Amino acid sequence: MVSATWVKGLVGVVMVAFVLAGCGGTDEESFVIGLNLESTGAIPNVGAHSQAAAEMFVEEINADGGVTVGGEQWTLELLVADNAGTATGATAAAESLIDDGVLVLVGPNASVAAVPAGGVADEQQTPMISPWSTNPATTLGRPWVFRAPFIDSFQGPILAAFATEEFGAERACVLFAPDSDAPRGVAESFRVAWEVTHGGGSVAAYETFATGDEVFADQLEAIAAADCDVLFTPQYYNEVPLIVRQARARGLTAPIIGNDGWSDPQLTAGCGTDCDGTFYGAHYVAAGATGATKEFIDAFEERQGETPSDVAALTWDAMQLVVQAIENCGEPSGDLAADRTCVRDGMAEIAELEGITGTMSFDEEGDPIKCMVIATIEDGAATFYKSVCS
């Protein structure tokens, strides 16, 4: 398979393409899928795991002869754009991929990128599915945009209820970066749920910092003074070790919990046993997995030499959803706009698809109905704690 690499645009969008064909390319019978990923920037492991999972999926499908549509076999091809984990990079990448004739977009993953990219996809009537974005704005009012994970408004109340029931907590403190869409969204949904459950006014401290900050002394001082029973920090895997270590060094003994942004092997690699006793919401946990999920983990580890993060598992499921949408669509017309519409409609029709992160069907906003895993860290490793579905 031929590949090509080039740099396009002022934002430095790097494209890595397989041979383009069929719906959005040459006359060969292939479907071209555009990946809009965080290959560089603050969370490059997200993009790397997402791309690896997508490539694994394509290789497996094509090795089996491709996707059967209209009585014929169609292979899958990938066109990959680096969005650098930024809003401007994501919109530029989406526009470039659409201009290059992809049938459907997979990604971005981070909400800060997925929300603006979703606007581009919806405006240009190109189906898009985000493997990892949990901010409701990614899909809200956008019939062309879908996602594979649960959303912030589902996540926040579950984690608030977990903290209340698990620890008997009455006073919560929250530490987050409001300049990032997903942390801000989860923090707000947690706060609202907590205050409803506890009669209002029970979030004792609602502290913020800027993405990229590495010292949280002032915020932790306010949190310590608030005497909270639990600290909720809905941040990404690269920030959590800093927060947890500084909180413990400050003498904070309250349980610390987080959201799905913690769900990456680099969290435990960077935090080790310092994060023991913490909890977080996740889409799946690799430890103890069985069936198709275990098969995916083993294959990913053999290929990449590391355990797949939840974004890798969700990307695999997003690719499954794309293929199911194509199969629901039926025989391609050869007209790209019509085929994009058909795939969008095929995505909306999906019900009870069994993914490796759970069974999925979509609501009217393009959001999946599925469960959350609560993970805990023990002896420097993430383990399954419980599953919560509502």
The verdict on 169 and 133 lying in the same domain is: no
Cα atoms in the 13 Å half-sphere on the side-chain side of 117: 41
Is the N-terminal amide bond of 143 cis, ω within 30° of 0? no
CA dist 258 and 372 (Å) reads 13
Which pLDDT does position 28 carry in this prediction? Answer: 56
CA distances from 98 to 121, 145, 375 (A): 8, 14, 37
Which of 260, 282, 304 delimits the end of a domain? 282
The answer to the question of residue 67 being in a domain is: yes
The answer to whether residues 94 and 120 touch, using CB atoms and an 8 Å cutoff, is yes
The range of the structural domain enclosing residue 352 comes to: 3-149+290-369
- Per-residue pLDDT in tens (0 to 9) along the chain, 390 residues: 222 222 223 233 333 333 334 454 434 589 999 999 999 998 999 999 999 999 999 999 999 999 999 889 999 999 999 999 999 999 999 999 999 999 999 999 999 999 999 999 999 999 999 999 989 999 999 999 999 999 888 899 999 999 999 999 999 999 999 998 889 999 999 999 999 988 766 799 999 999 999 999 999 999 999 999 999 999 998 999 999 999 999 999 999 999 998 988 889 999 999 999 999 999 999 988 999 999 999 999 999 999 999 999 999 999 999 999 999 998 899 999 999 999 999 999 998 899 999 888 889 899 998 889 999 999 999 999 999 986
The answer to the question of residue 388 being in a domain is: no
The verdict on 63 and 116 lying in the same domain is: yes
The answer to the question of residue 342 being in a domain is: yes
Is the Cα dihedral 260, 358, 84, 39 positive or negative?
Answer: positive
Residue of 348, 375, 370, 346 lying closest to 357 (CA atoms):
370
- Indicate the number of domains in the chain: 2
* Cβ burial, residue 252 (10 Å; 0-12/13-18/19+): middle
The answer to the question of residue 375 being in a domain is: no
Q: Where are the beta strands (DSSP E) in the chain?
A: 3-8, 13-18, 30-37, 67-69, 72-82, 104-106, 128-130, 145-147, 172-176, 203-208, 230-232, 256-258, 279-282, 353-355, 358-360, 372-378, 381-388
CATH code of the domain covering residue 157: 3.40.50.2300
* Chain segment 115-135, per-residue pLDDT in tens: 999 999 999 999 999 999 989
The verdict on 260 and 314 lying in the same domain is: no
The verdict on 237 and 297 lying in the same domain is: no
DSSP 217: H
Q: Which residue has the tokens 């945009």?
A: 145
The verdict on 212 and 160 lying in the same domain is: yes
The verdict on 244 and 255 lying in the same domain is: yes
The answer to the question of residue 377 being in a domain is: no
The answer to whether residues 373 and 158 touch, using CB atoms and an 8 Å cutoff, is no
The verdict on 312 and 354 lying in the same domain is: yes
Which residues fall within 8 angstroms of residue 34, CB to CB, at 6 or more apart? 78, 79, 80, 81, 94, 97, 98, 100, 102, 104, 105, 106
- Backbone φ and ψ for 134, nearest 5 degrees, come out as -110, -5
Which of 282, 305, 340 delimits the end of a domain? 282
CA dist 194 and 202 (Å) reads 7
The verdict on 75 and 137 lying in the same domain is: yes
CA dist 153 and 166 (Å) reads 20
The answer to whether residues 20 and 1 touch, using CB atoms and an 8 Å cutoff, is no
The answer to the question of residue 354 being in a domain is: yes
Which pLDDT does position 352 carry in this prediction? Answer: 86
Residue of 160, 180, 295 lying closest to 229 (CA atoms):
160
Q: Where are the alpha helices (DSSP H) in 64-138?
A: 87-99, 111-123
Which of 282, 309, 328 delimits the end of a domain? 282
The verdict on 225 and 190 lying in the same domain is: yes
Which residues fall within 8 angstroms of residue 277, CB to CB, at 6 or more apart? 255, 256, 376, 377, 378
Q: What's the one-letter identity of residue 109?
A: N
Which residues fall within 8 angstroms of residue 295, CB to CB, at 6 or more apart? none
The verdict on 69 and 135 lying in the same domain is: yes
* Cβ burial, residue 64 (10 Å; 0-12/13-18/19+): exposed
Kindly state the helix (H) or strand (E) to which residue 328 belongs, with its residue range: helix 310-329
The answer to the question of residue 216 being in a domain is: yes
Structure tokens at 109: 């993953």
The verdict on 161 and 141 lying in the same domain is: no
Which pLDDT does position 266 carry in this prediction? Answer: 87
Distance of CA 285 to the CA centre of its chain: 14
Which pLDDT does position 182 carry in this prediction? Answer: 86
The verdict on 136 and 158 lying in the same domain is: no
The answer to the question of residue 313 being in a domain is: yes
Structure tokens at 267: 């969290």
- Backbone φ and ψ for 60, nearest 5 degrees, come out as -70, -45
Which pLDDT does position 198 carry in this prediction? Answer: 81
